[in-house]
Structure formats: structure tokens, C-alpha cells
Structure 1
Amino acid sequence: MVMQRTFVMIKPDGVKRGLIGEIISRFEKRGLKIVSLKMVKMSRDIAEKLYDEHKGKSFFEELVNYVTSGPVVCMVIEGDDVVQVIRRMIGNTDPKEAPPGTIRGDYALSKSENVIHASDSIEKAQREMSLFFDKSDL
């Protein structure tokens, strides 16, 4: 077993629709540990840093505007192979391609309003966690 930590964020549509408890419950029922959690109103600067890899793409502005449109819930979650486990749990970015039983398959309304973000690698998780959490939070 290799314990890892990853960054997960419930996006504004998930918060607005009251899905926070349901999503956290899924992670806990899977045996994952919530190490730290906070609700924040993300600044444009942080949003641009979070989605830096998409800068220059056609959807970048829409994405930044969307994630700064309301509160988000940021979490650090720990578990065995947690990055891959959570990526499987959340499903494809496009809810039409996300299987039922995944978070996006069950709750996402569109490719842009897809409820949740999760790091796709350990390296990105480290960078993304540092945008929202101090070492003392972890």
C-alpha cells in the first residue's frame, strides 16, 4: 500500500445544488480520509493558477469565470493510490461519457458544469494543494 494525498474540489454547481455531503460521503465510504477541507470563494488569480495548463484554450475564460462564480469546497484526501481511485470515482469530464455510479455520471449537468475537480497526478496534486492549503492545514 502506498498512501498518497490528492486535491479535490467541489465546483460551484455542486455546492449550489447541495451535493457536498453526498460527494464527501462517497469518498469516506470508499475508505478514503479527508485530511483537510475548506469552503472558499476562489479568486481569479488562484483560478488561473489552478487551470494554468488550459491557458490559451478556447474554454479557459469560461472555466475561470465558472469556478469563481460561487463558493467551492477544497479538500485534501488521503488513501492508497488515491489519485487513481478518485479519478475513477469521479468519471469522465464529459458526463455523457461518465458511467452511472461515478460522481459526474450521476450528478454532472454538462461538460462545463461537471460538479468536481480532482488532480490527475501526484505532481499536480502537490501544486494544487499548495494553492489552497498551508502546510499547517495538512
Structure 2
Amino acid sequence: MVSGPCIALQLDRDDAVEHWKVVMGPMDPAKAKAVAGPKPLLRGVYGTTPVRNAFYGSETKLCALRDRLLLFPTASPVLQQALAIVKPTALNYVDALSVRFEREGFFLMDRAQIAIESDEELLLMAESNDPAYDSELKLAMTTGTSVVFLLEGLDIAAKLELLLGSADPVEAQVYFPTSIRAEMGVSLAHNVVFPLHSVPAAHKYMQKWFPAFFALEPEQTLAIIKPGTANLHALAIQNIILAHGFRIARQSRRLFSREDAMEFYAEHKGKAFYDKLMAYMTSGVVVVMVRTYDSLTRLL
């Protein structure tokens, strides 16, 4: 795999993962050649050995997500929120999960203890159509309360899914061996955490379970892009600021007078670097911005 260049393709169609596996054929090109069909399988045509079998394909939908982020990373990450619902049978892992979430770079915005009881909530959390699973899930979720984390981070929806691993802990142990479900999960119904994001219901339950958080008044802060950087990178910096969930309420470009700079940096007067700082801050145009951070706008 490191002997020469590869070509990575992102393929889109209904049920793309399974269809591509069929088109490639078995891992062993000899077996692929032996498969009868209207069209030859790709590995049977271009592969030579099970190692040099010409093609790779993601094994599952979650593997496809991991592979896509590795080979085609998001150009402009977006600030997102997600819920992580810790099931009643996994409450002994709550502290360990907090550590894992923070280590991954997620912000733990809030946490609540809730009861999952309604059929609507249970249906939302269903990860299989098997009636036996439905019964096991209902029993698991109604034996006690759950702890739900309100998480925030850049592109958190995909990152949370990969951190949790496959819904079935057995599958997670194969494809995501260091994931939360691989290490802590027992079965599909007892798989520690259910993630909720990227669907209208996620916004509904965020506001239902964390009403005080979403009732917070927007905060405002001032940001200044300093001379030099303002001329070269202002637009790129503003795009990054927007991606982090801020709105730029007002902005202006201006030259600081020495009096302006002295007022902003009064606490540094008398320090060794003070004169150099004053000279720098008055050497060119700055961009002044008033930024608003609103918990509700982060849901949009």
C-alpha cells in the first residue's frame, strides 16, 4: 500500500457500501474470477493475489464515514451540537465518558438526568427492526434514569459516531477496537451511549432537556485583528470565527492612534515590551469586530 500512488474515489448511490462490495467481488481474485454473472467482478479482472487484489472498499457505513474523513477531510469545519444519552445500564461509566469526550476535544456544555419512557423516544433510539431487540431496548431504557450530555464541537456529529463505534459492540470490536462501545458495550441494546444529532428531533430534545441553557441571552465580545494580519488574512479569519458559532454583529477597519492603543493596553504600561507594542498597534490597519455568541443560533 506504500509502494506507489493510489486513487481514492468517493462513490455515491443508494446502499453504496454494499453495492460496491458486490462490484469488487471477494477479497481473493481467484474466487472473484469463479463467480458467474453478467459482468466480471473487478478483483477477478485486475487483482492477482488476496493482498494485491487491486481494490479497497469500506466494510460498513461507519467505516465509510471514517475513510471519507481521512481521505477527504472537511474543508470548512462547522460548529455543531449533539446529545450523548448514557443508558441506565451504563451509568457507572459516566465519569469515564466525560473524560473521553473532553479528550476528543468536545465541549461539555451541560448534563442532565432524564427518564426515557415514551414510545416516541424509544422509537427514536431504536437501532434495529428486530422485535426481540425492541423488547430488550425497552427493558434497558426503563430500568432507571439516563444521563444525557449536551456536547459541542467542530463537526461533532461525525466525530461522536466514530468515537462511539458501531452500534453493535461485537462489530465495534472488529472495526473500531478502541471505541467506547467496543470497550464498554455488551450488546446492541446495552451499547452504553446513544448519539442524537443531525435530525430535527435532536433540536427538539436539546431544548426540552436543556431549557435553561437555550434560554441564555447572547453574549457579545470585541475582537481585533492586528496590523499586518488584518490586511493579509482578515477574510479567512472571519470565516473561522463564523465556523465557531459566532455572528459578527459589527465590524470596521481603522488605524489606531497612539491614544487608542494606550487605552486598550493600559495594563501593560511600564512593561519592557510596551513601546514595541504601541508601535506595532499603530503601524497599520486593524479590523475591529463585535461578535455575538448565541446558544440558539448554534442549532440552525
Q: Do they fold alike, i.e. is TM over 0.5?
A: yes
User: Which structure has more RCO (C-alpha within 8 Å, separation ≥ 6)?
Assistant: 1
Alignment correspondent of 2:117: 44
Match of 2:150 among 76, 86, 92: 76
Distance across 2 between alignment mates of 1:123 and 1:83: 14
Deviation, 1:128, is 3.3
> Size of the alignment, in residue pairs?
130
Alignment correspondent of 2:183: 106
Question: CA offsets per residue over residues 71-119 of structure 1, 9 Å max, x none?
Answer: 2111110000111110000011110111211000111011111111102
| Correspondence 1:20 to 2:94 | yes
Distance across 1 between alignment mates of 2:136 and 2:210: 25
Question: CA offsets per residue over residues 21-72 of structure 1, 9 Å max, x none?
Answer: 11111110111101110123x1522xx2223345xx4133432232121121
Match of 1:128 among 205, 222, 226: 205
Distance across 2 between alignment mates of 1:124 and 1:132: 12
TM-score normalised according to structure 1 size: 0.83
Change (3 A) 1:117 1:35: same
Change (3 A) 1:60 1:74: same
Deviation, 1:7, is 0.9
Divergent runs of 4+, >6 A: none
Gaps of 5+ in 1: none
Higher-Rg member (1/2):
2
Which piece of structure 1 moves more, 23-32 or 112-121? 112-121
CA contact (8 A) 2:80 2:154 kept: yes
Distance across 1 between alignment mates of 2:201 and 2:195: 9
Which piece of structure 1 moves more, 1-10 or 124-133? 124-133
Deviation, 1:120, is 4.9
| Correspondence 1:5 to 2:78 | no
Alignment correspondent of 1:137: 213
CA contact (8 A) 2:79 2:154 kept: yes
Gaps of 5+ in 2: 1-76, 215-300
Query: Which one-letter code corresponds to 2:117 in the other structure?
Result: R
Alignment correspondent of 2:196: 119
CA RMSD of aligned residues (A): 1.8
